[in-house]
Amino acid sequence: MPLVWGHSELIKLAWLRATKQPVEQLQAVTTRYHGQAPTPTVSYWRTAVPVVELRPNRDLVVEDTQPFVLHYGHDGWQDV
């Protein structure tokens, strides 16, 4: 059956490319987003992928693989 599954996925991709509409899109998702892509509200900072610029109206989450202490400031650390 693995080959049948692979063929069905290929058919779904061909359908998506031809119609721009996914085969298995849930009605709840369509209703919630009205066909629009969701707007991200969170930026994630990691050592491997630092956030260079924080866009307006976004929260910042700082992540690491081990516990750490975060020191932050602004204005060149004049008003911490």
Q: Which of 31, 33, 15, 35 is nearest to 23 (CA)?
A: 15
In whole angstroms, what is the distance from residue 10 CA to residue 17 CA? 11
- 80 — pLDDT class (breaks 50, 70, 90): low
pLDDT number for residue 4: 87
pTM of model > 0.85:
no
Instruction: Kindly state the average pLDDT of the residues 17-27.
Output: 87
pLDDT tops 70 at residue 1: no
In whole angstroms, what is the distance from residue 4 CA to residue 2 CA? 5
- Among 1-5, 19-23, 46-50, 75-79, top mean pLDDT goes to 46-50
| Cβ neighbours of residue 57 closer than 8 Å, sequence gap 6 or more | 41
